[in-house]
A = this chain, B = another copy of it.
Amino acid sequence: MSRPPVARESVLDAFEAILIDRGERFATMDATAKAAGVSKGGLLYHFGSKQALADGLLARLDELVREDIAQIERAKEGVVAHFLRTSTTGDTPVDRAIVAATRLAQGGDPTANAALRGIREQWATLIRPHVRDALALDLVMLVSDGLYYNAALDGSGVAGPVPQGEELDALIALVKRAAQD
**A contacts, CB < 8 Å to B:** 22-26, 102-103, 105-109, 113, 116-117, 120-121, 124, 134-136, 138-139, 141-150, 152-153, 161-163, 167, 170-171, 174-175, 177-178
Which B residues are in CB contact (< 8 Å) with A23?
105-109
- Give the oligomeric copy count: 2
Main secondary structure of the interface of A (DSSP, over half): helix
Asked whether B102 lies within 8 Å of A138 as measured between CB atoms, the reply is no
> Which single residue of chain B is at the shortest CB-CB distance from A105?
B153
Are B142 and A146 in touch, CB under 8 angstroms? yes
CB distance from A112 to the nearest CB of B (A): 10
| B141 x A106 contact (CB < 8 A) | no
